[in-house]
Structure formats: C-alpha cells, structure tokens
Amino acid sequence: MTWLWKEIEEDWLAGSALAQPPEVIVEAFERVEAHFGRPWIEASRMHEGGIGPARGTAPTLNIVTLGRQLAILEHVDDCGGRGSRISGYGETWSRGRMWR
C-alpha cells in the first residue's frame, strides 16, 4: 500500500511538522513498510498496553529515521550479514537494541 503525504500529515504528525520535505517523509515510510510491513509501522507508535497511537513528531521521526537508515543499508554490499536479517529486528529495533 502506498503512503500518502496527507495521511502522514493528518494521522501521524497531527499538526506537528518535521524539517524534511514531504516526499522524503513519504519515501521513508514506504521503505520501512517494504522491510517491516504496515502492521509493524502502526504498532511502532502504540503506547505500552496498546493504548491509542502516539502522534506528533516523535513517532513520525522514528519511522523517517529508520527509513533513512534502511536506505543506507540498501546500498551496502555486505553489512556484516545484518542486511539479510534486518527484517527480523523489527521488534528489537523498536526497543532501541537493534545493533547489540
């Protein structure tokens, strides 16, 4: 499924803004979805206990940052074997321990 800027702007940013052009933000969301899937993206902004999705700059920036990191890894021939296993780190990355 393709991400639309309007969806990110209204549902994710909810009145906040990032210092990135919309096309960069949309591209990052699409890249993360390609690696982890849309359900993972949506789950990444849920509060502990599954209470409502977080909105604003923090959850949006998390996805944009991950998308940009994935873009870098996609251009590395051998990232220590991590590139081929990256999709298995979705849960771990969301807790800040991806590269242990």
* Sign of the dihedral through C-alpha 24, 57, 15, 2: positive
pLDDT digits (tens, 9 = 90+) for 3-55: 999 999 999 999 999 999 999 999 999 999 999 999 999 999 998 877 889 99
Q: Does the pLDDT of residue 100 top 60, yes or no?
A: no
Please, what is the Cα angle at 94 between 91 and 99, to 5 degrees?
Answer: 85
Angle of CA points 27, 51, 43, to nearest 5°: 30
Least confident of 12-16, 62-66, 84-88, 96-100: 96-100
Q: What is the pTM of this model?
A: 0.77
pLDDT > 50? residue 98: no
Predicted local distance difference test score (pLDDT) of residue 97? 39
Cα torsion for 23, 18, 29, 73, to the nearest 10°?
A: 90
Predicted pLDDT at 74: 84
